Amino acid sequence: MSEKDTKQISKFLSYVLRHDPGSLGISLDANGWANVALLIEKMNENGRKIDRELLDLVVETNSKKRFAFNDARDMIRASQGHSVEIELGYEPLSPPEILYHGTAAQNVDAIQKEGIHKGSRHHVHLSLDKATAANVGGRHGKPVIMEVMALQMHNDGYEFFLSENGVWLTDGVPAGYIK
């Protein structure tokens, strides 16, 4: 299986597990988990040939660690980025002093005025390092990296969560906490 093939499967899994499980004929539980055996069955029925070994490979080699298995490895979910209503069950944590948000240059003026909004997702995604933020910001144009004064936000009562793949999550970032 080529890297291109595993990337296509990963993108499809992201779509199904984050945005539209019904498109494949599966459902997510309240915490976003899907049954692995049923997922594989439905993918094969819909022309996407996959077996457990290939699914394991896609999950383990995904550079962004977008997916997680439960301890029994019979359930799978996306780590964050959902537009469907789920409760990931993450506990609030104290973030580092600074986190980074990558965006495209055309969004900078709006963010400086209005802050960072989650849009159709459950949370705003923040990175520990500038390189990751630049990669995220570069998906839609020339990347701009913004510093978020995360610890100050936390101290002022905003909640932060850390996803299974190391992405920091919060409901929104007011403009006054952005450099």
CATH number of 99-177: 3.20.170.30
User: Contact, 166 vs 109, CB < 8 A?
Assistant: no
Confidence at residue 170, expressed as pLDDT on a 0 to 100 scale: 96
Confidence at residue 62, expressed as pLDDT on a 0 to 100 scale: 84
Percent of the chain with pLDDT over 70: 100
Confidence at residue 36, expressed as pLDDT on a 0 to 100 scale: 97
Q: Report long-range pairs for 46-50 (Cβ below 8 Å, ≥24 apart).
A: 48/9, 48/12, 50/9
Residue 30 reports pLDDT greater than 80 = yes
Residue with tokens 């948000």: 101
Which part of the chain has CATH 1.10.10.970? 3-78
Which part of the chain has CATH 3.20.170.30? 99-177
- Helix 3-18 to helix 52-61 angle (10° resolution) is 90
* Strand boundaries in 79-171, DSSP class E: 99-104, 116-117, 124-126, 143-148, 161-162, 168-170
Give the residue, 9 or 119, on which the prediction is more confident. Answer: 9
Give the tens place of pLDDT for each residue, 76-123.
Answer: 999 887 888 877 778 899 999 999 999 999 999 999 999 999 887 778
CA–CA dist 61, 74 (Å, integer): 18
The correct CATH number of 3-78 out of 2.30.38.10, 1.10.10.970, 3.90.1170.30, 3.40.50.300 is 1.10.10.970
User: Contact, 132 vs 100, CB < 8 A?
Assistant: yes
The amino acid that residue 59 corresponds to is: V
Give the residue, 44 or 82, on which the prediction is more confident. Answer: 44
Confidence at residue 136, expressed as pLDDT on a 0 to 100 scale: 87
pTM: 0.68
**Assigned token pair, 162:** 């850390």
Total residues found in the chain within this entry = 179
